[in-house]
């Protein structure tokens, strides 16, 4: 029997380079950002064609664009499903789980309402994570989704988007329901 170092030499490698490569492959990306859909940015995959898929854990998310809104000390807790807007949104549930671990998070920028032509501005503005649906022939501002039933991406029949909405727009969507 030959020594492992001799066999690695035959393959054209040394122990140090193989050890470094093994460590590099085992290291998971450490991106502290969370998308507006409520899932870590490392759960998002961007294909060479430019399509984005979000697959946290063993579930599929409707998210088609990575929009980083939060930077957290531990993104592993952001694995919840969105069921409704506000309290039942995956982003809110992830923040609660992060708080239980006594970790911190911060918005990545001074955010404003994601909706076009929003003129509502005030200091310490409050935002609510919401899921909106858009469909051909539907209202251009979309419709607030309540009691969302999760589907695989191939089953989507409408365009679903997570946004941060200001209180004024959230009231508008609630009244339109």
- Say what the pLDDT of residue 65 is: 84
Yes or no: say if 105 and 71 are a contact pair by the CB < 8 Å rule. yes
pLDDT at 78: 92
Question: In the prediction, which pLDDT does 98 show?
Answer: 94
CA–CA dist 176, 58 (Å, integer): 34
Average pLDDT in the chain: 78
Residue with tokens 């949104």: 89
Nearest to 133 by CA among 88, 84, 79, 175: 84
Task: Please tell me whether the overall predicted TM-score, pTM, comes out greater than 0.85 for this model.
Answer: no
Tokens read off for 80: 């919840």
State how far the alpha carbon of 172 is from the alpha carbons of 31, 82, 162, in Å. Answer: 35, 21, 16
Angle between helices 4-11 and 15-26 (to 10 degrees): 80
Question: Which pLDDT band holds residue 177 (cuts at 50, 70, 90)?
Answer: very low
Residue pLDDT, tens place only, 83-100: 888 888 999 999 999 999
Q: Is the pLDDT confidence value at 50 over 50?
A: yes
The maximal CA–CA distance of the chain, rounded, in angstroms, is: 78
Residues 6+ apart with CB under 8 A from 144: 85, 130, 131, 132, 173, 174, 176, 177
How confident is the model over 77-136, as pLDDT tens digits? 999 988 888 888 999 999 999 999 999 998 886 566 766 667 666 656 778 888 877 766
State the sign of the Cα–Cα–Cα–Cα dihedral 23, 26, 31, 32. Answer: negative
pLDDT given for residue 170 in this prediction? 74
User: Phi and psi dihedrals of 172, rounded to 5?
Assistant: -60, -45
The residue count for the chain: 177
d(CA 64, CA 51): 7
């Amino acid at each position: 029997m030959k020594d492992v170092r001799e066999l690695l030499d035959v393959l054209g490698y040394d122990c140090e380079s193989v050890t470094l490569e093994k460590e590099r492959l085992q290291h998971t990306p450490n991106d502290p950002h969370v998308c507006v859909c409520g899932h870590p940015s490392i759960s998002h995959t961007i294909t060479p064609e430019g399509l984005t898929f979000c697959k946290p854990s063993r579930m599929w998310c409707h998210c088609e664009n990575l929009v980083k809104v939060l930077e957290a000390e531990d993104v592993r807790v952001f694995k919840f499903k969105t069921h409704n807007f506000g309290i039942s949104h995956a982003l809110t549930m992830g923040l609660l789980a992060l708080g239980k671990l006594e970790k911190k998070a911060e918005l990545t920028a001074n955010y404003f309402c994601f909706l076009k032509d929003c003129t509502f501005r005030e200091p310490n503005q409050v935002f609510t994570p919401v899921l909106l649906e858009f469909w051909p022939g539907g209202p251009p501002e979309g419709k607030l989704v309540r009691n969302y039933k999760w589907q695989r991406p191939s089953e989507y029949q409408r365009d679903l988007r997570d946004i941060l909405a200001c209180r004024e727009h959230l009231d508008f969507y609630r009244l339109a329901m």
